Structure 1
Amino acid sequence: MKYFFAIWIPVLLFTNVIFSQETITHKVERGETITEIAKMYKVTPYDIYKLNPDAQDKLKPRSLLLIPSKSGIRVASSQAEITHKVLPKETLYGIEKKYNVSDADLKKANPFLETDGLQIGQELTIPSKNKIKSSEKAVYHDVLPKETKYSIAKKYGITIAELEKKNPEIIPNLTIGYRLLIKGNPAKNNEVVQNTEIKQNATDAAKKYVSYEVKPKETLYSLSKKFNLSQDELVALNPELKNGVEIGMLLKVPTNGMFSNVSENKVYTDLTAKNNSGDRKKIAMLLPFNVSSLEGDDTNSIVAQLKKDKFLNMTLDFYAGALMAIDSAKALGLPIDVSIYDSQETKYNSNIAAILNNNKLQNSDVVIGPFYQNNAEVTARLLSSYNVPVISPLSKDEGTPITNLYQAVPTNDVLKTKMFDFMRSKNGNMLAVVDKKKGSVIQYLSKNQPDVKLVPLNDNGTVSAENLKNMLVSGRMNYVVLETANTWMIKTTITSMVSAMSNYQVQLVVLEPNETLDSDEINFSNLVKLKLMYPSVSREDSSVEGVVFENKFRKINSISPSDYAIRGFDVTFDAIMRLMQNKSFEETANTISTQQFKNKFEYHKKDGVGNANKGVYILYYDSDLTVKVAN
């Protein structure tokens, strides 16, 4: 009987709903969402929320929901809600202004907007004004370096005692990056309204703007998410948006700090040969075999040198993969001529100038190499007047932007940005556990990812389950970014997360390889439970083509292909196929993204000059003990 009353009392109190037919009950299964259930019964999520108000806070497995039949509910005319059918070119901003409702109220009435966005033909419920309850907006402040309780309290005209009363967890110490509640009550579902002045702290340091061209299917909503601005802020920068979003519009958008790595979304394409002219394409490869130094070593035999020289082994692996790409292209009958040169390079020297003096590179359609970033930049500068594209195939260095230089490996900053962009795209609640010794990480988050909240640490540098749970949010995925090599700190964080799994969705995230996680001291099964997630330049490839490639490579070379061999194939084959499109390499790089066996190639302009690859995979540990690509 207690379950009967728990279900029906809230419904009876909801007096505006009049039933003309019996309702259906639905037993919630683990992992189901309101949107999925609504689609199953062909009703809207809002219809379910009206009968089950508690479902807005948390959807509990095995609980019963009342589901109305489509004709079974009508709403009392005294408080009738308006519906609006979305028309082409309409935006959330325009609809909100038309009906004078806030963004938060419209999304509360139509929860699917958070996941699906605005789409033509959708039926939106416009909440009536007398149902929108006014409440004091919560104001938050993210603690910046060198700030104190005194300076923060003075800034907002409150006392330190009042500040500590609102935020009792800061009584022992104040942590950089921690989000403080200044006034009002904590917003539900982590919906934070921040003071304009606080936002200025994060963006006014060096504000710059760039032009951005609107692409097909982009809306005011998607643009505001892309540039991490509110729709009002975006319209304030671009008043013409009041009349709607149009393809080709040039918008003024910020490019400092957290916006500097914003990239356009490119569609990935499988390239097929389209070289109708039949012109033979010339490819030059500059690889550091350093043959002269091998031959000049009288002490060690070449076999002995091969055993101990890791750099040479890397070069030979890359070369073996590149040869397979060249053979594949020739098997397809593609008209290519490939020249391979010994770049004879060290980190700061190479043989490039001598090769250029013999006029061997100027007529190339593309140059692959050298390996060292410094040498690749020298090559690009020397060939810039000939407009020959130069691909830096292995370097992760940030490098200097040069018009004809293409950085084939995404930098660490790109990897991090892609990881945070992915978590935001899932509407995740982002938390970070950062070792106090990692001051640079705290500064990076404060400057580039200010919406990430730092979890307070105990005096001994560990994480308590209570501190973590206080920052978790129901109904959303809670991503916990772990930045430490301290074994005990990792263990306490994992233990706290596992204990919270019964009530919250949690997932562990790392931004770069962490050797401590691979040690025997960390329980691997817990990493699988928490679906450890991380950004990566390459993926695992179990496709039929991948298996064929590995078998063929093993047959030719009597060894399995290393990561360098696969990169040699991917970089070379990608370059060949781009040259077969009846376009220049530059044109295809600007418009087409590709995915080879294990690597993506998504080139974007870097500071308006150079070209950087932003093709990154988001990988996670799955329950079947394999590593999968997150969608």
Structure 2
Amino acid sequence: MKYFFAIWIPVLLFANVIFAQETITHKVERGETITEIAKKYQVTPYDIYKLNPDAQEKLKPRMVLLIPSKVGAKVVSQSQTEITHKVLPKETLYGIEKKYNVSDADLKKANPFLETDGLQIDQILVIPSKNKKVFSSEKAVYHDVVAKETKYSIAKKYGITIAELEKKNPEIVPGLTQGSRLLIKGKPEVSQKESTATVKKYATYEVKPKETLYSLSKMFNLSQDDLVILNPELKNGVEIGMLLKVPTDKVFTNVSENKVYSDLSAKNNSGDRKKIALLLPFNVSRVEKDTVNSVVARLKKDKFLNMTLDFYSGALMAIDSAKTLGLPIDVSIFDSQETKYNSNIAAIVNDNKLQTADVVIGPFYQNNAEAAARLLTNYKVPVISPLSKDEGNPIANLYEAVPTNDFLKNKMFDFMRSKKGNILAVVDKKKGSSIQYLKQNQPDVKLVPLTDAGTLSAESLKSMLVSGKMNYVVMETGNTLMIKTTIAAMISAMSSYQVQLVILEPNETLDTDEISFANLVKLKLMYPSVSKEDNSAETNAFENKFRKINSITPSDYAVRGFDVTFDTMMRLMQNKSFEETINSTSTQQVRSKFEYYKKEGGGYANKGVYILYYDSDLTVKVAN
């Protein structure tokens, strides 16, 4: 995490950013150039000159500049009426002018800093608007990937670099897929271009009993080869419960018992700009006042701040995706300054007129999210609780994006019952809450009796197994000896019985060297989760892009930040109210499902849960 924090903490603490104002201020330091300042706030030098005409003559130390907050502190999607260009390595003024059919004089007039600073990598240039028609009318050129082609051979064929090819087709960063259609030059012919981990025009279909590759290909009107290209795991055969990726225009709609998750594409015909507010607990003032710990030391200790920054990094990727797609969305980011029992939510709502927002994401703590929802109830502004697993109170405009722990457990038991399995539970006497949960919510589950000393008898467990059906053994203990005894008893019984080990929540003891991973694989350890773990092309592409930006692998919180933020943005683009999209459409993003249901009394909660298990090939799969 070191590189990410090194990048973002200085921005949060020392850049004089005041969230949610129309402009922000920057005090010029000795030696700074207009290009460096523009890059720091992710705006163009031209944007700064428009607010600070005197800066065109000379920058002076301690000069205070007004910085437009459309990007950076207030993140705004790319304007649909202004063309900008980010300078890439090896690009020249001549090449850029030729690309956009603009004269040298006009380009320098729109970007005065070119006269003093020259052309530099990562500069954002404003392209004179009179040439927009020339740029937008450039005809798109595509290339369909065939067997044995490489990125190098394709780039060489069209006289472009691999970097240019990947920029136009970010989904190929992890690798080429035979049959893919690549954009070589121009703008895509459709209004929404698929991009890595953003808009995926696919739905997910769950394979039913007796379905074959042939019947599936006929169902979706695809060739068997095309179906395998989309789902490489089909090379090993069709299995019941497989989740297949199929084009949305091929979705088989006559199977009501199968849940199809739709990938939303933008349909905002009104052209109205949408407003999203993110309330994230940076707690900047508290960090600034900490005279004992340095920023680095605090980051090592403060897990909550780490979680916040991870979520923020994922949200920024979603915002960047919206910019790339040209979505008319303005995103304001606020420091909610929250702890479990207080926050400055009321001040943020009133001072920044969040009553006019289309959606609010955050705060993190459930009671603070509920406070925000109550303040905005009369204005019907949806408030999304993005991380809390707590059971929320019924508030009409509150949307709980993470299923509660009890909901996860209930889904696990529902799954086992759907398989007509024999369900047993090995529960440590110290796990009083688990015993109480089972007695109140799962009274039909049989508890394996323990000895007077509180230990497990292998023979007691074996005596409760049943032949001819799957025996699910739910293990609720952190005791190493009890875990080993349970596992050993189950493995010894495998020659006579079908057995599978189940846990209801993460168990740190299973990750220690004392517990054999190979045995967990043999018993196909199964558990419920709010996020899937896979190596799909889309997940890999997202992770590669995240690593490229932040120099680290995305944490679960970073992926969650992307999934919640991007899902929210796409729901705003549907020509219907946010609540209507919640009622009509379930979605699946990089790792999360969003299948909301209306709670009794009001508000919505997500029931998107995966049942995962350890497979024999040492990967984690979604259970059938």
What TM-score, normalized to structure 2?
A: 0.57
- Give the 3-state SS of the residue equivalent to 2:354 in structure 1: coil
- Which residue of 421, 432, 448 corresponds with 1:439? 432
- Give the 3-state SS of the residue equivalent to 1:337 in structure 2: strand
Give yes or no for contact 1:461–1:489 (8 Å, CA) kept in 2: no
Give yes or no for contact 1:604–1:611 (8 Å, CA) kept in 2: yes
Q: Deviations over 1:280-327 (max 9, x none)?
A: 111111111222223333444444433433222221111111011011
**Is 1:545 matched up with 2:538?**
yes
Paired position in structure 2 for 1:373: 366
Shift of 1:470: 2.8
Give yes or no for contact 1:511–1:534 (8 Å, CA) kept in 2: yes
Q: Which amino acid aligns with 1:571?
A: V
Q: Which moved more, 1:545-554 or 1:367-376?
A: 545-554
Q: Closer, same or farther in 2 for the Cα pair 1:217/1:548, shift >3 Å?
A: closer
Q: Distance in 2 between matches of 1:361 and 1:602?
A: 26
Q: Distance in 1 between matches of 2:456 and 2:302?
A: 43
- Give the 3-state SS of the residue equivalent to 1:560 in structure 2: coil
Q: Distance in 2 between matches of 1:388 and 1:283?
A: 10
- Which residue of 587, 590, 598 corresponds with 1:594? 587
**Is 1:399 matched up with 2:392?**
yes
Paired position in structure 1 for 2:332: 339
Give yes or no for contact 1:435–1:483 (8 Å, CA) kept in 2: yes
- Give the 3-state SS of the residue equivalent to 1:531 in structure 2: coil
Shift of 1:441: 2.0
Give yes or no for contact 1:462–1:492 (8 Å, CA) kept in 2: no
Q: Closer, same or farther in 2 for the Cα pair 1:438/1:312, shift >3 Å?
A: closer
Q: Closer, same or farther in 2 for the Cα pair 1:462/1:339, shift >3 Å?
A: same
Paired position in structure 2 for 1:328: 321
Give yes or no for contact 1:321–1:567 (8 Å, CA) kept in 2: yes
Q: Distance in 2 between matches of 1:296 and 1:621?
A: 47
Q: Distance in 2 between matches of 1:518 and 1:299?
A: 35
Q: Which amino acid aligns with 1:464?
A: S
Give yes or no for contact 2:357–2:381 (8 Å, CA) kept in 1: yes
Give the fraction of aligned pairs with identical amino acids, expressed as a percent: 79
Q: Closer, same or farther in 2 for the Cα pair 1:308/1:465, shift >3 Å?
A: closer
Paired position in structure 1 for 2:281: 288
Shift of 1:560: 1.6
**Is 1:421 matched up with 2:414?**
yes
Shift of 1:399: 2.6
Shift of 1:217: 7.7
Q: Distance in 2 between matches of 1:508 and 1:307?
A: 35
Structure number with greater Rg is: 1
Give yes or no for contact 1:541–1:597 (8 Å, CA) kept in 2: no
Give yes or no for contact 1:266–1:592 (8 Å, CA) kept in 2: no
Give yes or no for contact 2:409–2:504 (8 Å, CA) kept in 1: yes
Shift of 1:473: 2.0
Q: Distance in 2 between matches of 1:343 and 1:488?
A: 45
Q: Output aligned runs, 1:263-302, within 5 Å.
A: 267-302=260-295
Q: Closer, same or farther in 2 for the Cα pair 1:581/1:466, shift >3 Å?
A: same
Q: Output aligned runs, 1:192-591, within 5 Å.
A: 267-591=260-584
What TM-score, normalized to structure 1?
A: 0.57
Q: Closer, same or farther in 2 for the Cα pair 1:405/1:520, shift >3 Å?
A: same
Q: Distance in 1 between matches of 2:576 and 2:469?
A: 45
Paired position in structure 1 for 2:153: none
Q: Which amino acid aligns with 2:350?
A: N
Q: Which moved more, 1:602-611 or 1:559-568?
A: 602-611
Q: Deviations over 1:37-74 (max 9, x none)?
A: xx9xxxxxxxxxxxxxxxxxxxxxxxxxxxxxxxxxxx
Q: Distance in 2 between matches of 1:453 and 1:507?
A: 15
Q: Distance in 1 between matches of 2:561 and 2:372?
A: 19
Q: Deviations over 1:461-512 (max 9, x none)?
A: 3333433333222221110111122222222211111111111110000111
Q: Deviations over 1:90-109 (max 9, x none)?
A: xxxxxxxxxxxxxxxxxxxx
Q: Distance in 1 between matches of 2:571 and 2:615?
A: 34
Q: Which amino acid aligns with 1:520?
A: D
Give yes or no for contact 1:418–1:616 (8 Å, CA) kept in 2: yes
Paired position in structure 1 for 2:605: 612
Q: Deviations over 1:219-272 (max 9, x none)?
A: xxx9xxxxxxxxxxxxxxxxxxxxxxxxxxxxxxxxxxxxxxxxxx85422111
Q: Which moved more, 1:265-274 or 1:480-489?
A: 265-274
Q: Which amino acid aligns with 1:429?
A: N
Shift of 1:359: 4.2
Q: Distance in 2 between matches of 1:510 and 1:297?
A: 41
Paired position in structure 1 for 2:164: none
- Give the 3-state SS of the residue equivalent to 1:315 in structure 2: helix
- Give the 3-state SS of the residue equivalent to 1:362 in structure 2: helix
Q: Which moved more, 1:283-292 or 1:539-548?
A: 539-548
Q: Distance in 1 between matches of 2:565 and 2:604?
A: 17
Q: Closer, same or farther in 2 for the Cα pair 1:456/1:313, shift >3 Å?
A: closer
Segments of structure 2 that go 5 or more residues without pairing to the other structure are 1-208, 213-239, 242-253
- The aligned length equals 377
Q: Distance in 2 between matches of 1:557 and 1:217?
A: 43
Q: Closer, same or farther in 2 for the Cα pair 1:308/1:445, shift >3 Å?
A: closer
Paired position in structure 2 for 1:86: none
Q: Closer, same or farther in 2 for the Cα pair 1:499/1:556, shift >3 Å?
A: same
Q: Which amino acid aligns with 1:440?
A: S
Give yes or no for contact 1:285–1:341 (8 Å, CA) kept in 2: yes
Q: Which moved more, 1:364-373 or 1:556-565?
A: 556-565
Shift of 1:400: 1.6
Give yes or no for contact 1:373–1:399 (8 Å, CA) kept in 2: yes
Q: Distance in 1 between matches of 2:466 and 2:297?
A: 59
Give yes or no for contact 2:597–2:605 (8 Å, CA) kept in 1: yes
Q: Distance in 2 between matches of 1:474 and 1:491?
A: 23
Shift of 1:606: 2.1
Q: Distance in 2 between matches of 1:623 and 1:511?
A: 21
Give yes or no for contact 1:393–1:409 (8 Å, CA) kept in 2: yes
Q: Output aligned runs, 1:8-47, within 5 Å.
A: none
Q: Distance in 2 between matches of 1:576 and 1:342?
A: 20
Give yes or no for contact 1:434–1:442 (8 Å, CA) kept in 2: yes
Q: Which amino acid aligns with 2:326?
A: G
Q: Closer, same or farther in 2 for the Cα pair 1:313/1:466, shift >3 Å?
A: closer
Q: Deviations over 1:6-60 (max 9, x none)?
A: xxxxxxxxxxxxxxxxxxxxxxxxxxxxx98xx9xxxxxxxxxxxxxxxxxxxxx
Q: Distance in 2 between matches of 1:440 and 1:291?
A: 37
